[in-house]
Amino acid sequence: MKKIEDLFSEMLDNITLTSTQKCDAQTKYEGVINCLAKHFYDREHNGNDLFLFGSYKTKTHIRPLTDNSDVDVLFKINQEIYDKYKDNPSGLLQEIRTALKETYTTTDKISAWGKVVLVKFADGHHNVEVLPALEDKEGTFSIPNTCDGGHWETGFDPRKQVDEFLESNKATNETTRNIVKMIKRWVCYTSTLEYKSYLIVGDVIEFLTSCYPNGKSDKEEWDELLLDFFTYIKNHKKGHHKAISSHIDTAQSRAIKAVEYRKEGKYIEASEEWRKVFGTEFPEAEENEEKIVESRQFTSAPRPWYI
């Protein structure tokens, strides 16, 4: 008999990228950077020309892939390129766009706005979002911003973001990565929910640091960790949570029901509640466990992060 814990493991398998999808992403971002290295440096790209960040770097991309499944890659420019476009950041993005359009077919859409150039591939798989940046001596970057007349932002530090994630993920024995992927699945399934990836990562790290600094143990169940996450976020609302508070409330109430059903051995009912949160990527339980229930008081058990 598969228990709810088993179904969570299956869901993680269901939403983890396949080896083919990983290769597709790598082929695409390396192709984009190689095109830019040839254009700006008249050579093939090398490892120093790029820096991966975001979901692909932290391995928290999930499937099924959507139109918004982007690989975030930084293209390192030199001082000469920066000086040329110091007063015209929009011009740099347009030159990058033009260079890419010479390589990629007309069926692919290439657009520039804000800080990046997006290569939206016609095959419907991974897209590539490329950010040009000048590295300084401290290891941070200056990046273009075409808004409000155009300017350059200093101090952009994608390494710090990646390092904070990797440190948390190591300390929690992969719990950070797994929860981020599950929350992303909740967001993907909830069409009206806008919850940015970097905010999800920050919230998960904060939650685990406060409540599960060593990550999930063998004695703990995934359903209770997810319930605790929703409860923690609900009780520690920040500015970005206010717009999604109703979604958090709904997810928490469904998680409470699901955990209660699981404790009663009602795996079918529990899986139905989780499918309301995650969709069909969460498997259906096939049978319930016969169990005598002595109490339904668990939802009132004290949790230090509930207040």
pLDDT in tens, 188-198: 999 999 999 99
How far, CA to CA in Å, does 201 sit from each of 59, 129, 179, 196?
A: 12, 19, 9, 9
pLDDT at 306: 54
Q: Which of 6-10, 101-105, 284-288, 302-306 has the lowest mean pLDDT?
A: 302-306
Whether residue 108 has pLDDT greater than 70: yes
CB-based contact 287:267 (threshold 8 Å) = yes
State yes or no: pLDDT of 48 exceeds 70.
yes
Euclidean distance between CA atoms 4 and 272, whole angstroms: 11
In this structure, what token pair is assigned to residue 94?
A: 């347009």
Is the pLDDT assigned to residue 225 strictly greater than 80? yes
Amino acid identity, position 118: L
Q: What pLDDT is recorded for position 123? A: 76
The pLDDT assigned to 149 comes to 84
Q: Nearest to residue 94, comparing CAs of 67, 106, 112, 76? A: 112
Furthest CA-CA distance within the chain: 75
Q: Give the model's confidence band at 300: pLDDT under 50 very low, under 70 low, under 90 confident, else very high.
A: very low
Q: What is the pLDDT of residue 39?
A: 97
Mean pLDDT of 250-276: 98
pLDDT at 304: 57
Query: To the nearest whole number, what is the mean pLDDT of the chain?
Result: 92
Residue 74: enclosing H or E segment and its boundaries? Answer: strand 70-77
What's the pLDDT score for residue 43?
95
What number is the average pLDDT over the span 66-89?
94
In the predicted model, is pLDDT for residue 224 greater than 90? yes
Tokens 């040839």 sit at which residue?
38
37-52: average pLDDT: 94
**Mean pLDDT across 101-121:** 88
Amino acid letter, 268: I
Residue range 264-284: average pLDDT? Answer: 98
Residue with the bigger pLDDT between 306 and 254: it is 254
In this prediction, what percent of the chain has a pLDDT beyond 70?
Answer: 94
pLDDT tens-digit readout, 154-166 = 999 999 999 999 9
For residue 274, give the 3-state DSSP assignment: helix
SS3 content of the chain, % helix, strand, coil (to 5): 55, 15, 30
Q: What is the pLDDT of residues 289-298, one digit of tens each?
A: 976 555 454 4
Percentage of the residues of the chain whose pLDDT score is greater than 90: 81
Helices and strands counted in the chain (H then E): 12, 7
State the Cα–Cα distance between residues 254 and 248, nearest whole angstrom. Answer: 10
Dihedral, 1, 267, 195, 299 alpha carbons, nearest 10: -130
- Tell me the two tokens of residue 195: 């919850």
